[in-house]
Every structure is written in C-alpha cells, then in structure tokens.
Amino acid sequence: MIRWGVEHYRGFMAEGLKCGSLFAPPQSLIKRIRRIIKPLKKCVPVGITLSSLLLSCGDGGTDPGSIDDTDFSIELVFINHGTPSQDSALIAAADRWMDIVQGDLSDVDFSSTPVPANTCGEGVQHPEFSGVVDDLQIFIDIRPLDGPGGTLGQAGFCQIRSISRLPVLGFISFDSEDLGPIELADFGALTLHEMGHVLGVGTLWPDSDTLLVNPSLPSSPGADTHFIGAAAVAAFDAAGGTAYTGGEKVPVENMLEEGSADSHWRESVLENELMTPVLQSGVANPLSAITTESLADLGYIVDSSGADSFTGTFSAPARLTAPGGRIIHLGNDTYRGPVEVVDDSGRVTQTILRR
Ligand SMILES: [Zn+2]
C-alpha cells in the first residue's frame, strides 16, 4: 500500500496535471487519488514540488474528485514534507481511515470567507485557504520544532461543522528532530494515531457534554474517567470488557497531563491499543473496533470490519504503572487551541476556547 501510494502520487505528478486535462484515473483509484487532486484545482505546472504546488494553486478547474461524492474523503496538504517513507506512511494512514469512515459530510466552501494563513494549528505555517473541503483536509507539517526531546508531534482540528460538529480542517505536525530514531513500522502507527485525533478520537471528547464522564482534568487525577458512547462500550465488551472490574466503561486515561489525559484510552487497561497515550515500539498497536466504533458515537458512519483484531481480559483493576518494553510516549499530542465552528460557507459562527 505504501509503495503503491508513492508510485501513483509521483506518477500522477509526472503526467503533469493541467486545468481541464483529460487525465481520468480508473474509478477504483479515484477515492485515493482525490485527496491529492483536489488541492490542485487550477492550472498546475509540471515538475514543481508538491508543497509549492499546493501553495500556488487556487480554486476552479476540473475536479475529478467530485466524481464520487458519497465516500468519506481525507485530503492531505503537505506544508513541509518528511522523508518519502514518512510521507507514504501518512498517505497509507489516510487510506486506512478512509476505509473505516464511510459517508460523505457536507462540503464547506471557503471561497467567500477564506481561512487566514497560519491560523490552523500550533505554529503550522500554512497558506490562506479559500477552497472547498469535501470532508476533512489536513495540513501536514514535518520540520524541526522544539529541538530533540520535548513534544514529538501534535494533531487536532481547528474548524468543525456547525450542524454535525465534525472536523473540517485540521493538522498534524511532527518534530523532524525526534523522528530519526523511530522505525518505519512505528511511524505508521504514529501517523494513524495522530490522524485519529484529527478525526476527533479523544479530541472531541472533552468538549462533549454527553460522552466523556468524570474527567481527570484539571485537578482530579485518578478519577474514573470514561467514555460512555454506546457503540464504543459495546465494542469494548465484545473485546473482553464484560470482565472489566476496574470501573466504568470505556476507561479513559486519567493520570497524565493536559493534551494526554481525557483524550486517549487508558493506558493501564487498553495497553497496546492504538489510541492509548503510549505506543509500544516494535509490536502491533491495533486500531481496534473500540476506536472505530467511538467514531460512530461522535456521528460518523463507520465500517468496523476494517478494524484490527484486539481482545483482552481487562479483568484487573486499573493499574497505574508504566508499560514495559520500548515505548513511544505521545505526551501532549492533542491540540487544545481554539476551534472555530463554521457553516457550509465557511462563516465562523462560534469560537470555542479550550485552554
Ligand atoms: Zn495521542
């Protein structure tokens, strides 16, 4: 999949997409290609790097992506690229999430109210955006951030829809100086994890009046924080959670700082599941049906048949010890900056301040 993505990504560029060109990818490829095509909506010169293409293109022109407008689409906009392997992992992550999330959301057309430059994400230097977002657009920014150590990366959304409250525009940033020691397989899990946050896993929970119960922040560490979405609880039970005696379901991280607590599954219970705050290096970190079904609780249409197998006994009370083995701690990886609520014309109807 990764190899496929790179080849078509580059092959497509080498063909030199022009305005109104007759380029017509096979129907089976449109869903995956559209996330690349859509930002390139005007005339595109051949042989320029993707990042500068994206910065120089505007609206109008042929949009092959509109051929199938019933699927859920994730569009990646690379502000600063990683290595080819890292870029490929991000594309593969988008593919994976698009196989799980189904159903088109309302388009948001920013042509009359553009998103100002550099306003989405912590220090993400993106251009002004005046295009149309089909479902979800993600700025990707991989560059030196806070030096070796510190925050490895951060992800989230900066705009949500006014009716569904689901994300429109988000970002993923990685500190390139921290990525060196991370093996490619682990980076794949990392990108999948961070893209989950852009979709709303963990990041939409704290603002929900109905899904997150008994939060540990700002001053109740160790509280029995839990996520009560019916679909996620059912998936937790199906994975072995009927035997869980540690508290209410589904247990949410309750012992860490802002940016980690209340926004991940509880590490001490769900251990190597993808959306806990610590990734286990060198082993699988399954994207379980607990996570995919939690997206249904947020309002997405999902197909959990693509989730990874994940079961546990969950029988012991919640432990508070750190996991063993090599780990990647994703401390403070969820964006808690302001979020704008927008209508279908991109008009801001509300600003939610979350710090
Ligand atoms: Zn995280």
Distance 325 CA to ligand 1 centre (A): 19
Query: Do 184 and 82 belong to one domain?
Result: yes
Distance 288 CA to ligand 1 centre (A): 15
Tens of pLDDT along the chain (355 residues) come to: 222 222 222 222 222 222 222 233 333 344 444 444 443 333 232 222 233 233 323 232 333 344 457 899 999 999 999 999 999 999 999 999 999 999 999 999 999 999 999 999 888 999 999 999 999 999 999 999 888 888 888 999 999 999 999 999 999 999 999 998 888 889 999 999 999 999 999 999 987 778 999 999 999 999 999 999 999 999 999 999 998 989 999 999 998 888 889 999 999 999 999 999 999 888 899 999 999 999 999 999 999 999 999 999 887 655 555 556 678 878 788 988 899 999 999 999 999 987 5
Residue 104 pLDDT: 94
Distance 23 CA to ligand 1 centre (A): 38
Distance 54 CA to ligand 1 centre (A): 27
Distance 139 CA to ligand 1 centre (A): 17
The pTM assigned to this predicted structure is 0.82
Count of domains forming the chain: 2
Distance CA 195, CA 140 (A): 10
Distance CA 290, CA 304 (A): 9
Q: Output the domain CATH number for residue 239.
A: 3.90.132.10
SS3 175: strand
Query: Do 158 and 61 belong to one domain?
Result: yes
Inter-residue contact 92 to 1 (CB < 8 Å): yes
Domain of 345, in residue numbers: 2-203+334-352
Distance 182 CA to ligand 1 centre (A): 16
Q: How far apart are the first and last CA of the chain?
A: 39
Query: Do 113 and 173 belong to one domain?
Result: yes
Distance CA 104, CA 106 (A): 7
Distance 279 CA to ligand 1 centre (A): 9
Residue 20 pLDDT: 26
Looking at residue 206, its amino acid is P
Query: Do 183 and 227 belong to one domain?
Result: no
Distance CA 339, CA 353 (A): 7
Residue 181 pLDDT: 82
Distance CA 322, CA 234 (A): 27
Query: Do 178 and 218 belong to one domain?
Result: no
Distance 152 CA to ligand 1 centre (A): 10
Query: Do 195 and 291 belong to one domain?
Result: no
Query: Do 21 and 167 belong to one domain?
Result: yes
Query: Do 231 and 310 belong to one domain?
Result: yes
Query: Do 188 and 241 belong to one domain?
Result: no
Distance 324 CA to ligand 1 centre (A): 19
Residue 29 pLDDT: 41
Query: Do 184 and 129 belong to one domain?
Result: yes
Query: Do 170 and 230 belong to one domain?
Result: no
Distance CA 21, CA 71 (A): 24
Distance 202 CA to ligand 1 centre (A): 8
Query: Do 315 and 325 belong to one domain?
Result: yes
